Amino acid sequence: MYWLTAIVRPFKLNDVYDKLIDEGIGGMTVTEVKGLGSQRSTTEVYRGASYSNDFIPKIKIEIAVSEDSLERIIEAIVESAKTGKPGDGKIFVSKIQQAYRIRTNEIDLDAI
Amino acid sequence: MYWLTAIVRPFKLNDVYDKLIDEGIGGMTVTEVKGLGSQRSTTEVYRGASYSNDFIPKIKIEIAVSEDSLERIIEAIVESAKTGKPGDGKIFVSKIQQAYRIRTNEIDLDAI
Amino acid sequence: MYWLTAIVRPFKLNDVYDKLIDEGIGGMTVTEVKGLGSQRSTTEVYRGASYSNDFIPKIKIEIAVSEDSLERIIEAIVESAKTGKPGDGKIFVSKIQQAYRIRTNEIDLDAI
Amino acid sequence: MNTEALAFEHNYIFNTIFLLFSGALVMWMAAGFSMLEAGLVRSKNTTEILTKNLLLYALACIAYQVLGFDIMYVDNATAGWLPSFGFGIDATAEGATQPREVDFFFQVVFVATAMSIVSGAVAERMKLSAFLIFSIFMTAVIYPVEGYWTWGAGFLGASVEDGGMGFSDFAGSGIVHLAGAMAALSGVILLGPRKGRYSSKGVKAMPGANMPLVALGTFILWMGWLGFNGGSQLTLNSIEDANAVGKIFLNTNAAAAAGALVAYLLSTIIYGKADLTLIVNGALAGLVTITAAPDSPTPAQAVLFGGIGAGIAFFAINFFDKIKIDDPVGAISVHGVAGIVGVMLVPFTKDVSFLTQFIGIAVISAWVFGASFVVWFAIKKIMGVRISEQDEYHGADASECGIEAYPEFVGSQS
Amino acid sequence: MNTEALAFEHNYIFNTIFLLFSGALVMWMAAGFSMLEAGLVRSKNTTEILTKNLLLYALACIAYQVLGFDIMYVDNATAGWLPSFGFGIDATAEGATQPREVDFFFQVVFVATAMSIVSGAVAERMKLSAFLIFSIFMTAVIYPVEGYWTWGAGFLGASVEDGGMGFSDFAGSGIVHLAGAMAALSGVILLGPRKGRYSSKGVKAMPGANMPLVALGTFILWMGWLGFNGGSQLTLNSIEDANAVGKIFLNTNAAAAAGALVAYLLSTIIYGKADLTLIVNGALAGLVTITAAPDSPTPAQAVLFGGIGAGIAFFAINFFDKIKIDDPVGAISVHGVAGIVGVMLVPFTKDVSFLTQFIGIAVISAWVFGASFVVWFAIKKIMGVRISEQDEYHGADASECGIEAYPEFVGSQS
Amino acid sequence: MNTEALAFEHNYIFNTIFLLFSGALVMWMAAGFSMLEAGLVRSKNTTEILTKNLLLYALACIAYQVLGFDIMYVDNATAGWLPSFGFGIDATAEGATQPREVDFFFQVVFVATAMSIVSGAVAERMKLSAFLIFSIFMTAVIYPVEGYWTWGAGFLGASVEDGGMGFSDFAGSGIVHLAGAMAALSGVILLGPRKGRYSSKGVKAMPGANMPLVALGTFILWMGWLGFNGGSQLTLNSIEDANAVGKIFLNTNAAAAAGALVAYLLSTIIYGKADLTLIVNGALAGLVTITAAPDSPTPAQAVLFGGIGAGIAFFAINFFDKIKIDDPVGAISVHGVAGIVGVMLVPFTKDVSFLTQFIGIAVISAWVFGASFVVWFAIKKIMGVRISEQDEYHGADASECGIEAYPEFVGSQS
Ligand SMILES: Nc1ncnc2c1ncn2[C@@H]1O[C@H](COP(=O)(O)OP(=O)(O)O)[C@@H](O)[C@H]1O
Ligand SMILES: Nc1ncnc2c1ncn2[C@@H]1O[C@H](COP(=O)(O)OP(=O)(O)O)[C@@H](O)[C@H]1O
Ligand SMILES: Nc1ncnc2c1ncn2[C@@H]1O[C@H](COP(=O)(O)OP(=O)(O)O)[C@@H](O)[C@H]1O
């Protein structure tokens, strides 16, 4: 099993979500985060003092996936999250040892 | 060492917390997240237009644990977070290579 | 590649950020979290009833790093986040299998 | 035109202007209570308490128009206790010094005030429908009956010469504020505390979600109270009236100021911090205290009285938590306890006995508490007064109104 | 000093006090609209709508001072339709019963009210600059012209004896509220709905970000409306005036109360929950309805009329969503539909024909809708009325004002 | 009753009604400042600034009652400079045209206004206790002394015939607003800027947490200012008074409108966006400017004057940041700079010399700045004026009040 962490643009969340549902994933967990990367932040002026928020709002999507579907899901995210401009985000993949479904005590592939 | 990621219902946080303290864990990190899974969201009506939030508020608990205590802690979370209805959440386990305590420069098991 | 998760004090975020930029890292992702550990929370009184928030606001910084720079970056975080008082936080390191840059389809070291 | 006719006409106009603008200020207090209470509850119960406040005001206006005003003021026997049921907002009596409609408008906003007091105390756990049904009884019958006994020249309020007791409560420390607090108290007792409020670990703090609303509500009430007490002079058509109203404005303002400062000092001494929510309770308790007689104390006395009322209310807030009466906004202490203090301070500046005042308090309290208890109890039996535990957990906003107060701001606090 | 001179002087003072304080209450309605609208939009458009409301009030004051007042009231022919362009705030006419400045102040706050109605309906997608330019035309010309036709004794409002039609609209259900709604409607049609609002999946709910502001705005408007309707008596210098104004306060308050209750009942019956935003729309629709004749109904009729207006407006809100007219705050239903209801109810309590009232509505609607459409259309052609899709996505606060309304609270809702 | 007696009595009542309701509007400005300031600070300092505003109002009322009013108005020598210490709220003089209590009430709310100005400028870093102690000195002594010199007919304000200078400041551009700004300025200089505000990277923006509160506060102040300037006519018992007050309402409103528009234009031209916080500063600067003489300009002049004051204040905001005077809400620019502009514009519409006006400004500024500096300095030496760096980091809410303003909303912005 793999743990897939995708950082995407907030306004792409809906597209990614629709796409992943199409791909038949059963669940995911979403967090509001702030990101720093090659994307430059905009500068605002407040009462004459300019300021820029170095950190840009992003959405982190975490999904536990089986080995089989890993490639397909990465594909799906890349496709639905891309705009081509800096700031589109990244996907990171790591291994999970175990998974449990609290409600049923099911484990591993049955749990996700 | 293992990294344990549990997704639980917000209103169970206190119970899980009490249970984990009983189990003697030394620390944990909690994040407010939104989840998607088998649990169905409720539909609300606002000015006659109905809407449903597909994403349901959840709490993510992250704990670094030693190999010894892993099973015991998973047990504790399952026990205290279960309601038996869809949406109880999951626990995912992965490996950690290293751990550092910033204050003391202690490492690995001493750090967690 | 490694996935580095650092929990630090909110008010140290700026220092850590400046230091990491100095170290030349290309990106990171930041989340507001609540932590529990050896640091004791303060007790407040509201309308005569005292209460303490067991959970203390913390900042979680996540960075994907190459093997080479791992030590240097850990060093940098420790240095810039330390106050010497309980609550300074931890750094956890785990492995990443793959990384993708959504915008360009670059992978692994090129992606981070 | 002769001078007498002119004087009569102008006095009529003076009274009208004065009472209408005073009444507008009292109407405005409905917003004050709404904001205060919305700031002191948790965000998950905010829409519901706003809805409650808006609807109680609306219901009070209609119920008092249909029945309450008739019970309180129309065709009743002087010094009696059983109200008649005459009907008559429209008819301005021959020789009246202001239009009947103006009287009504000024009175109707008082009813709403009394009812507003209740909503805060039962916050975060009561069914909206149960509350609204109670509102009808309170504003159509319970309050008007004791209103007749006092301001309507019934047995309490009629002068001794007229066969009454001469109970003195200028603008309603007892008649309005204590009455509201008693209706609240009986409701709270039947309802029980918010889940998790009292446990073996002691009292759990449940901080209000929005302090600017608390401050705003307080300023609104402070402003509105100038109309509440000032307008209670009822006429402003002579030099004596003008002097009285001037004094009332000054004293009302001074008592509120003193109340805020006393609460600040107590909070700082006892808890080490300036708890804004206790300070606003202090200001309001000062206002409630002076309300029974804002026209007679010297300004220095007004400061003293406001301070005393606020000090006693301060400790009452703690006391009610000790006996597990859960009042999220402190309404019972601020309006009930300070209301009693206010009524009992009247003999220091007016010619009335402590006994009379005490009897007045006892009668109002017994009637409102008793009648309210019966109504709450009946509602409880028939339809229940409390939302389910699950709904309380998720907040009354979702279960009662279907909309969140701040849909974009709040983390999963629940 | 003789009695007549005294009476004259005092009447002059009475009118001045009355109109100035009533006017202050109407001015206060600008805050009410601001808060109501700021609460009903999403947080990313909040600063912009506040800015819009503040600036429209400012613009309305200047535009009406420079041109609008002259068009509406100065040197016009009775029962005519083409206004003259006399200029004259300063000159108080010989024998006038109050200062000209007081007349102006009371009138200028009405213009701002009419304009405030527009801002809510076009919220969350219009360019600030386009809106402000429209405001100038609306307050300098469009509203004043129909104002002349009606209150300025033009062909609609002049009495039948004077050669007019005798159209009756006491405080402006049609002249102010319907007019505002018509300007809004033409703007909304040209502007289109908010992105994502209507799709094959139906109507997407876009919940307002801050319910306490919604309630606060409603209470402010409710309070201000006492001055809006009361002050429209224009003089308060006789017993008759006093009686009228007393009745107006009572009826205005009662109609609002009835409107809130009707909307509560409908919301509970149809949707199962007490939707606060619909309830406030109900209260405001009740107010709009009674505004055409707050001085003639009995209190019971006022309750009835307020309830009818609120009920019809309730269904209108749904209807406009059906035909994809996107009005985030319900302004067109509340001010337009209830405004029509109010005007058409006048014949039940006053001696005027339904036909006259209907013609009045038709003329006002046609003029305001048509003239506004032309202005909106020209603005659209010349500079565009709508912010870019990307700006709409990120919110008008960022693109128009550069500052967030709640920079520390909001998650990435976008 | 004879006509003269009737006229006397009615005039007394007119003045009373007028001053009390005007005073209520000025009292309401305390809420305006609270909301404005609470919206402009960061959320971690919001409860503290609300507490400060509530308590300063309370303290001002008591301090002015105990000492300030006596210093300012009782038993002083005409055209003198050393106040006596007579005591006398209660005594209404024989033949007075309104009750003494009414005078007092109208004056006491002005003191609170002056003090409110200070709280915004020192926000986010001052100890609550230090601020409150300063408040006592300011409202009991510093303001009353210059108040005596001017409105109390001391050497500045007494007419030339009476041996004074004839300094002219109708409602207090200098006496109230500049005075408040000077007290603020001396405090800010001793206190230093907020940590992190000025660095080698330039000025760091610290955006206010809640824009709806900013807009609400502005509307409240705008409304209250009608009472502030209007009520400063002090009597409303003749046709001349009525004309004057009508003009004042019109001009006050027009100057505010012009100020808002000028700030909008400047903000749009210079920064490219409509910065709401600068626009509200513009509206308020317009109000401050017209306050020195709202009764004499034509409406067109009022627009001009309001616009000039707002324009100058706009650039002053930037200037103070350049010289590292950190004023989170712009109070020194809006009340101080525009206050000076207002006083210096008086000679254009009234018969007074620029020199006299200039001397008045110099004396008021020197006295208030100097005396305030001494008091702030003493407080600093004895107990410190500034919270610790750590407390400033975590916010004054935690250290001073122990409660968060929005406990459920805010992420760890710190
Ligand atoms: N090394 C990294 N570790 C963790 N998160 C990263 C890293 N680099 C980028 N990110 C996240 O990915 C987001 C997008 O990255 P960015 O470099 O701005 O755009 P792009 O991926 O298009 O080059 C960032 O805002 C940040 O949240
Ligand atoms: N594949 C997954 N990857 C990551 N998180 C998941 C996954 N499946 C479920 N979750 C998280 O677990 C939560 C509970 O899952 P859900 O399927 O609703 O209930 P249950 O676990 O009772 O079947 C979800 O809201 C989501 O946050
Ligand atoms: N075992 C753990 N697993 C996950 N997070 C932890 C763990 N222990 C501590 N933390 C995080 O690290 C933060 C700091 O830890 P704490 O023990 O308070 O201080 P210190 O690291 O100085 O001893 C905690 O608030 C929590 O967020």
And the tokens for E272?
A: 């199962």
- Apex F242 CA angle, F335 and F257, nearest 5: 35
| F309-362 tens-digit pLDDT | 999 999 999 999 999 999 999 999 999 999 999 999 999 999 999 999 999 999
Q: In 3D, which of F313, F336, F335 has the Cα closest to residue F262?
A: F313
Q: In this complex, is the C-beta atom of C54 within 8 Å of any C-beta atom belonging to chain D?
A: no
And the tokens for F316?
A: 């002053």
pTM above 0.90, yes or no: yes
* Residue corresponding to tokens 């709009």: E288
pLDDT, average across residues D147-167: 96
CATH of the domain at F209: 1.10.3430.10
Q: In 3D, which of E106, E100, E98 has the Cα closest to residue E8?
A: E98
Predicted local confidence at residue E413, as pLDDT: 40
Please report the atom of ligand 3 found closest to the CA of residue C55: 25
Q: Is C69 in the pocket of ligand 3 (CB under 6 A)?
A: no
Using DSSP's 3-state secondary structure scheme, residue C60 falls into strand
Q: How many CB atoms lie within 10 A of CB E414?
A: 17
Residue F55 — pLDDT band, cuts 50, 70, 90?
A: very high
User: What's the CA gap between E106 and D11, in Å, rounded?
Assistant: 25
User: What's the CA gap between D368 and D156, in Å, rounded?
Assistant: 15
User: What's the CA gap between B28 and D148, in Å, rounded?
Assistant: 63
Ligand 1 mutation target, pool C1, C2, C28, C63, most atoms within 8 A of CB: C28
Given a contact cutoff of 8 angstroms between Cβ atoms, the answer to whether B96 and B1 are in contact is yes
Tell me what ipTM this predicted complex has: 0.94
Q: How many domains does chain D have?
A: 1
If one compares C25 and F171, the residue with the highest pLDDT of the two is F171
DSSP state of E165: -
Predicted local confidence at residue D209, as pLDDT: 95
Q: Would you call F242 and E16 a contact, using CB atoms and an 8 Å cutoff?
A: yes
Contacts of F115 (CB under 8 A, 6+ apart): F56, F57, F59, F60, F135, F138, F139, F143, F180, F183
Q: In 3D, which of D85, D78, D142, D143 has the Cα closest to residue D110?
A: D143
Mean pLDDT over each residue of chain D, to the nearest integer: 95
Predicted local confidence at residue D93, as pLDDT: 74
Q: Would you call F260 and E54 a contact, using CB atoms and an 8 Å cutoff?
A: yes
Predicted local confidence at residue D412, as pLDDT: 37
Is the per-residue pLDDT at C57 higher than 90? no
Given a contact cutoff of 8 angstroms between Cβ atoms, the answer to whether E171 and E23 are in contact is no
Closest residue to atom 25 of ligand 2, CA basis: B35
Q: What percent of chain E has pLDDT over 90?
A: 90
Is the per-residue pLDDT at F414 higher than 50? no
| E85-127 tens-digit pLDDT | 655 666 677 788 999 999 999 999 999 999 999 999 999 999 9
Q: Would you call C78 and B31 a contact, using CB atoms and an 8 Å cutoff?
A: no
| A3-37 tens-digit pLDDT | 999 999 988 888 999 999 998 888 999 998 999 98
Given a contact cutoff of 8 angstroms between Cβ atoms, the answer to whether E395 and E407 are in contact is no
Cα B73 from chain centroid? 11
Instruction: Confirm whether F408 is domain-assigned.
Output: no
Predicted local confidence at residue F411, as pLDDT: 53
Q: In 3D, which of D106, D63, D380, D123 has the Cα closest to residue D232?
A: D106
Instruction: Confirm whether E409 is domain-assigned.
Output: no
User: What's the CA gap between B66 and B63, in Å, rounded?
Assistant: 10
pLDDT, average across residues C28-45: 86
Which chains form contacts with chain B, at 3 or more CB pairs under 8 Å?
A, C, D, E
> Which residue type, as a one-letter code, is found at position E95?
G
User: What's the CA gap between F305 and E60, in Å, rounded?
Assistant: 18
Burial class (CB in 10 A: 0-12, 13-18, 19+), E4: exposed
Cα A43 from chain centroid? 26
Predicted local confidence at residue F310, as pLDDT: 98
Question: Cβ contacts (< 8 Å) between D204 and chain C: which residues?
Answer: 49, 51
pLDDT, average across residues D117-137: 97
Residue F75 — pLDDT band, cuts 50, 70, 90?
A: confident
Predicted local confidence at residue F154, as pLDDT: 96
Q: What percent of chain F has pLDDT over 70?
A: 97
pLDDT, average across residues F136-142: 98
> Which residue type, as a one-letter code, is found at position F285?
A
Predicted local confidence at residue D355, as pLDDT: 98
Using DSSP's 3-state secondary structure scheme, residue C52 falls into strand
Please report the atom of ligand 3 found closest to the CA of residue B103: 22
Given a contact cutoff of 8 angstroms between Cβ atoms, the answer to whether E346 and E352 are in contact is yes
Given a contact cutoff of 8 angstroms between Cβ atoms, the answer to whether F129 and D261 are in contact is no
And the tokens for E266?
A: 């409908």
Predicted local confidence at residue B52, as pLDDT: 75
Please report the atom of ligand 3 found closest to the CA of residue C39: 18
Instruction: Confirm whether D409 is domain-assigned.
Output: no
Q: How many CB atoms lie within 10 A of CB D278?
A: 28
Distance B40 CA to ligand 2 centre (A): 11
Q: Would you call F403 and C46 a contact, using CB atoms and an 8 Å cutoff?
A: yes
* Residue corresponding to tokens 């900042």: C59
User: What's the CA gap between B18 and B13, in Å, rounded?
Assistant: 9
User: What's the CA gap between E36 and E281, in Å, rounded?
Assistant: 10
Q: What percent of chain F has pLDDT over 90?
A: 90
Q: Would you call D414 and B44 a contact, using CB atoms and an 8 Å cutoff?
A: no
Range of the domain at E64: 3-401
pLDDT, average across residues E280-284: 98
Please report the atom of ligand 1 found closest to the CA of residue C62: 4
Distances from the Cα of E180 to the Cα of E172, E260, F192, angstroms: 11, 22, 49
> Which residue type, as a one-letter code, is found at position D116?
S
Distance A7 CA to ligand 1 centre (A): 7
Predicted local confidence at residue B40, as pLDDT: 77
User: What's the CA gap between E247 and E254, in Å, rounded?
Assistant: 10
Question: Cβ contacts (< 8 Å) between F1 and chain D: which residues?
Answer: 3-4, 7
Least confident of A55-59, E37-41, F1-5, F392-396: F1-5
User: What's the CA gap between D333 and D125, in Å, rounded?
Assistant: 19
Contacts of C64 (CB under 8 A, 6+ apart): A90, A92, C1, C2, C3, C4, C27, C96, C99, C112
Burial class (CB in 10 A: 0-12, 13-18, 19+), D319: middle
User: What's the CA gap between D264 and D286, in Å, rounded?
Assistant: 13
Q: In 3D, which of D221, D242, D220 has the Cα closest to residue F18?
A: D242
Q: C-alpha dihedral over F2, F8, F14, F18, to 10 degrees?
A: 180
Interface of F with A (CB under 8 A): 202-207, 270-273, 275, 277-278, 317-318, 321, 330
Ligand 2 mutation target, pool B5, B9, B36, most atoms within 8 A of CB: B36
Q: Is B101 in the pocket of ligand 3 (CB under 6 A)?
A: yes
Contacts of E138 (CB under 8 A, 6+ apart): E114, E115, E118, E183, E372, E375
- Closest residue in D to F19 (Cα–Cα): D246
Q: Would you call D414 and B32 a contact, using CB atoms and an 8 Å cutoff?
A: no
- CB-based burial, A2-24: b 16+ in 10 Å, e otherwise: bbbbbbbbbebbebbbebbeeee
Please name the member of A74, A83, A95 whose beta carbon is closest to the beta carbon of C100. Answer: A74
Question: Cβ contacts (< 8 Å) between F403 and chain C: which residues?
Answer: 44, 46
Residue E156 — pLDDT band, cuts 50, 70, 90?
A: very high
Q: In 3D, which of E295, E213, E201 has the Cα closest to residue E249?
A: E295
Instruction: Confirm whether D8 is domain-assigned.
Output: yes
Contacts of E32 (CB under 8 A, 6+ apart): E217, E218, E219, E220, E221, E223, E224
And the tokens for A10?
A: 């907030």
> Which residue type, as a one-letter code, is found at position F122?
V
Query: Which H or E run contains A3?
Result: strand A2-8
Is the per-residue pLDDT at D300 higher than 70? yes
Distance A28 CA to ligand 2 centre (A): 6
Contacts of E55 (CB under 8 A, 6+ apart): E128, E132, E135, F260, F261, F264, F274, F279
Phi, psi for residue C14 in degrees, rounded to 5:
-60, -40
pLDDT, average across residues D380-404: 94
Q: What is the widest separation between alpha-carbon atoms in chain E? A: 78
Please report the atom of ligand 2 found closest to the CA of residue A62: 4
Closest residue to atom 24 of ligand 3, CA basis: C35
User: What's the CA gap between F183 and F180, in Å, rounded?
Assistant: 5
Interface of E with A (CB under 8 A): 393, 398, 402-403, 411-412, 414
Please name the member of A17, A26, A31 whose beta carbon is closest to the beta carbon of B37. Answer: A26
Ligand at minimal distance from the CA of A41 is 1
Given a contact cutoff of 8 angstroms between Cβ atoms, the answer to whether F412 and C9 are in contact is no
Predicted local confidence at residue D411, as pLDDT: 53
Closest residue to atom 5 of ligand 2, CA basis: A28
Distance C76 CA to ligand 3 centre (A): 19
> Residue E239: beta bridge partners?
none
Site residues for ligand 2, CB cut-off 6 Å = A 26-29, 62-64, 101, 103, 112; B 7, 35-39, 56, 58, 86-90
Residue E53 distance to chain F (closest CA, Å): 9
User: What's the CA gap between C23 and C73, in Å, rounded?
Assistant: 7
| F207-254 tens-digit pLDDT | 999 999 999 999 999 999 999 999 999 999 999 999 999 999 999 999
| C5-26 tens-digit pLDDT | 999 998 889 899 999 999 888 8
Task: Count the residues in chain A.
Answer: 112
Site residues for ligand 1, CB cut-off 6 Å = A 7, 35-39, 56, 58, 86-90; C 26-29, 62-64, 101, 103, 112
Q: How many CB atoms lie within 10 A of CB B11?
A: 15
Ligand 1 mutation target, pool A4, A7, A88, most atoms within 8 A of CB: A7
Question: Cβ contacts (< 8 Å) between B101 and chain C: which residues?
Answer: 88, 90
Instruction: Confirm whether E171 is domain-assigned.
Output: yes
Chain B interface mutation, best of E41, E211, E275, E322, highest count of B Cβ atoms under 10 Å: E275
User: What's the CA gap between F410 and D410, in Å, rounded?
Assistant: 8
Closest residue to atom 27 of ligand 3, CA basis: C35
Given a contact cutoff of 8 angstroms between Cβ atoms, the answer to whether B27 and C36 are in contact is yes
Mean pLDDT over each residue of chain E, to the nearest integer: 95
Is the per-residue pLDDT at D85 higher than 80? no
Which chains form contacts with chain C, at 3 or more CB pairs under 8 Å?
A, B, D, F
Phi, psi for residue F120 in degrees, rounded to 5:
-70, -40
Is the per-residue pLDDT at B14 higher than 70? yes
- CB-based burial, D195-230: b 16+ in 10 Å, e otherwise: eebbeeeebbbbbbbbbbbbbbbbbbbbbbbbbbbb
C2-111: CATH architecture: 2-Layer Sandwich (3.30)
Distances from the Cα of D279 to the Cα of B7, B98, F47, angstroms: 41, 52, 12
